[in-house]
Amino acid sequence: MRSKKDKRRLAFFILFLAIAVIVLIGRLFLLMIILPSQEKQETIKFPVIERGSILDRNGRILAVSTKLDSVAAWMPNIEDPLKTAVLLSTILDLKKEEILNKFKTHSGFVFLKRLVSPEVSDKIRSLKEKHLLKGINLISEYGRSYPQQELASHVLGYVGVDNIGLAGIEYSFNQVLSPPAMGKGLKKVYGNQVFLTIDVNIQYIIEKAAEEAFKKNAADSVMVLAMEAKTGRMLGYVSIPNFNPNDYARYKSSVLMNKPLTFTYEPGSVFKISSISSMLQTGAVSINDHFYSNGFYKKTLNNGQTIIINDLGVYGDVTPQRIIQLSSNVGAAYASDKIDKNSFYQMLIKFGFGQPTGLPLPGESSGILRKPQKWSARSKPTIAMGQEIGVSAVQVISAATVFTNGGVLLKPRIVEKIVSPQGDVIKEYPRDPVREVLSPETAEQMLLMMETATEDHGTARRAKIKGLRISAKTGTAQVLDRKTGKYSKNHFISSFLGIFPTNNPEIIVYVVIDNPKYEKYGGRIASPVFKQIAEYIVTYRGIPLKTDTVYKEKQEISLSIPNQVKVGKVMPNLKGKPKRSLLPLLELKDFNVHILGTGYVVSQNPKAGIALKKGMDITIILK
């Protein structure tokens, strides 16, 4: 039996425990009931963020926030799941089984499809008015619209269903376009606007030229970049095949890939302008040096191994200028024997190869430039002709700024400025010199050598434009077959780099055609693409030609003002109308009007006679 002392201890313990429990319950009651009733608790609220627009250099909208509907289901109100799933499957472009599975796995609220088109919303509203979609609701959310569709898609990128950037500028500038914000009283926040260096009109022409080359050559892909030679601004940035960011999910990852920035390839003879100018700059080679091309380069090593590099023809005596004009592999290989590998490597690093350019888009490749200690005896002459080195298209066009800026490398630019919702400029991106690579004399010498490539016997002669001085270099590179470890006999990368005008460079254009199926030489298939683009830019930018005639007369001229276009309930016929007469269209608030090009209207969408609806896109193309 327990003693009285033990019983007393137990009683005290139970009493202490009871008091502790009462105190704890009282404290919880105070915290959960009394205090909340006396003072309203402040909660953190996340405001609605309207993502800022992306615009071209002239203020043309490329990406804009729009309110779209998301389709959701409230399961307690759905009376016939099977019938509902059947009706929705065709409208939402979803499998009936997929919708039924969502019905079965949710007991309350569930999204069926986010951010649908206005047409889909209208169809669902129509069925709801007929009481055929009980339990199905449309919830308004902010979405993203790309009014130019495929235009500049690899630059713009795209956003996910939650309006968060997943690629391109949308990704890199996500927090600029959609700044994070929270706080008391904040209901809505407007994002900043990003202005690009891209010119929509130039972009459009380049995309059309690239698409034509893609189809004509049955190529795997085509890349075309256009840049302001003195500033590093990208005016056009094209990768074909491209995609529509309004519906990016239906495209393969290979199409979504930003190839000009991420695809590494051997550039071929276009690279000779960097290798030969490196030899000239170091003094290893002079412009008066001569090399003999009898159709092949041959070098026997101490171990008895023989290195052989072939030319397309027997060019005989060649100078650095002739190496560039004729694109002589043999000449470039013999010239490389005169420069030591460390000096050669350091010069190529100065040009920006083997490192990212810093263009503000995700996933940039550094290219491949191995350190000299890893080079074989064959590496130096092979690199000199543009093989055994990996580059991106952005690296190549960036390196070309060395020749257009007196030997100074420029950082490429694709963003012009950031503007606040109130219209204030927050940040500008000015011309950005990186370092001096060549002397002004060497840079000018290379431009003049490249100009001879457009003469009658040069590899770039098909790009010649009457009255315009062009410095150019063609390229044709075999692609390594990963299965055999040898260069393919069928897979080539054909390219063309053009700078104009030679005497005062304004524009650089770089064309790359990957795996053309019929013709392989860059001088034959990439030159015409460059020429088509250059002819447009010359007219569009007002670059003077030697053939231009300037008339000066002192007299009055009478000009007729074209009739202004008027829009009623149906789309008028605009074909043949001059651009000036279309200006009233830009003032229409109920429509999204896009005018591309200059000159006169050649096509329009919607076609003449189509009934116009509020919010409709109107696209007009001029030439």
Q: Are residues 142 and 59 in the same domain?
A: yes
Say whether both 429 and 372 belong to one domain. Answer: yes
If DSSP codes are grouped into helix, strand and coil, which group holds residue 215? Answer: helix
Per DSSP, the three-state class of 461 is helix
* 464-475 core/surface letters (b: 16 or more CB in 10 A; e: else): bbeebbbbbbbb
Domain contains 599: yes
H-type helices in 189-271, by residue range? 200-216, 253-256, 259-262
Structural domain includes residue 42: no
The CB density around residue 496, as the number of other CB atoms within 10 Å, is 29
Instruction: Please indicate, yes or no, whether residues 157 and 260 belong to a single structural domain of this protein.
Output: no
**What's the pLDDT at 582?**
75
- List of residues 6+ apart from 511 with CB closer than 8 A: 210, 213, 222, 223, 224, 495, 496, 497, 522, 526, 529, 530, 533
Both 391 and 290 in a single domain? yes
Q: Does 27 fall in a domain?
A: no
Average pLDDT score over the chain: 87
Q: Are residues 181 and 214 in the same domain?
A: no
Q: Where are the alpha helices (DSSP H) in 300-453?
A: 320-326, 329-336, 341-350, 379-384, 393-399, 401-404, 440-451
Determine, yes or no, domain membership for 496.
yes
176 pLDDT higher than 70: yes
Over the stretch 35-69, which tens digit does the pLDDT of each residue have? 555 544 444 455 677 889 999 999 999 999 887 88
Which residue type sits at 463? A
Say which residue, 430 or 295, is predicted with more confidence: 430
DSSP annotation string for 110-122: EEEEEEE-HHHHH
Pick from 68-72, 182-186, 285-289: least confident = 182-186
Q: Which helix (H) or strand (E) holds 99?
A: helix 96-105
361 in any annotated domain: yes
Residue 54: closest CA among 143, 157, 142, 140: 157
| Residue 96 reports pLDDT greater than 90 | no
Which pLDDT tens digit goes with each residue over 125-172?
998 888 888 889 888 777 788 999 999 999 999 998 788 899 999 999
Q: State the residue range of the domain holding 362.
A: 205-541
Rg of the chain over Cα atoms, rounded to whole angstroms, equals: 33
pLDDT in tens, 586-611: 667 777 777 776 677 777 878 777 77
- The full DSSP string for 274-304 is HHHHHHHHHTSS-TT--EEESSEEEEE-TTS
Asked whether residue 12 is domain-assigned, the answer is no
Of 157, 173, 196, which residue sits at a domain end?
196
User: Does 431 fall in a domain?
Assistant: yes
Residue at which a domain ends, from 541, 570, 604: 541
What is the C-alpha to C-alpha distance for residues 150 and 199, in angstroms, rounded to an integer? 15
pLDDT at residue 573, as a whole number: 83
227 with 319, same domain: the answer is: yes
- Closest CA relative to residue 358, chosen from 429, 426, 253: 429
Q: How confident is the model at residue 557 (pLDDT cuts 50, 70, 90)?
A: very low
Structure tokens at 5: 């002392």
Q: What pLDDT, on the 0 to 100 scale, is given for residue 182?
A: 60
Q: 19-23: list long-range contacts, CB under 8 Å, 24+ apart.
A: none
241 and 151 within one domain: no
Nearest-10 crossing angle of helices 81-92, 118-129: 150
Supply the pLDDT for residue 118.
84
pLDDT at 45 (0 to 100):
54
Same domain for 392 and 355, yes or no, is yes
Specify the CATH number for the domain of residue 61: 3.90.1310.10
Q: What is the largest CA-CA distance in the chain?
A: 133
339-354 pLDDT, tens per residue? 999 999 999 999 999 9
List of residues 6+ apart from 458 with CB closer than 8 A: 325, 326, 452, 472
Residue 453 in this model has a pLDDT that exceeds 70:
yes
Backbone angles phi, psi at 439, to 5 degrees: -75, 155
Task: Map residue 163 onto helix, strand or coil.
Answer: coil
Return the closest-CA partner of residue 91 out of 140, 66, 146, 128.
128
Q: Nearest-CA neighbor of 478 among 310, 240, 299?
A: 310
Residue 427's pLDDT is what? 95
Q: Is residue 152 located within the same domain as residue 272?
A: no
Q: How far apart are CA 313 and CA 321, in angstroms?
A: 17
For position 561, what pLDDT does the model report?
Answer: 44
When mean pLDDT is compared across 192-201, 250-259, 304-313, 356-365, the lowest value belongs to 304-313
Q: What pLDDT, on the 0 to 100 scale, is given for residue 511?
A: 98
User: Are residues 532 and 599 both part of a single domain?
Assistant: no
Q: Is the pLDDT of residue 551 over 60?
A: no
Q: Comparing 231-235, 528-532, 579-583, which segment has the lowest mean pLDDT?
A: 579-583
Q: Which residues of 184-210 are buried (b: 16+ CB within 10 A; e: fewer)?
A: eeeeebbbbbbbbbbbbbbbbbbbebb
Q: Are residues 246 and 357 in the same domain?
A: yes
| pLDDT in the model for residue 48 | 72
What is the CATH classification number for the domain harbouring 287? 3.40.710.10
Question: What pLDDT, on the 0 to 100 scale, is given for residue 75?
Answer: 87
pLDDT per residue as tens digits for the range 360-402: 999 999 999 999 999 998 999 999 999 999 999 999 999 999 9
Write out 544-591 in H/E/C secondary structure: CCCCCCCCCCCCCCCCCCCCCCCCCCECCCCCCCEHHHHHHHHHCCCC
* 593 and 512 part of one domain: no
Amino acid symbol at 93 = D
Phi, psi of 285, deg, nearest 5:
-135, 145
Q: Packing angle between helix 440-451 and helix 272-282, nearest 10 degrees? A: 140
Of the candidates 519, 501, 514, 515, the one whose C-alpha atom is nearest the C-alpha of residue 464 is 501
Residue 263: pLDDT band (50, 70, 90) is very high
Contacts of 618 (CB under 8 A, 6+ apart): 571, 585, 591, 592, 593, 594, 604, 605, 606
Residue 423 in domain: yes
Q: How many structural domains is the chain composed of?
A: 3
Contacts of 43 (CB under 8 A, 6+ apart): none
Q: Is 285 left (phi over 0), alpha (psi -120 to 50) or beta?
A: beta
User: Domain boundary at 161, 196, 231, which?
Assistant: 196
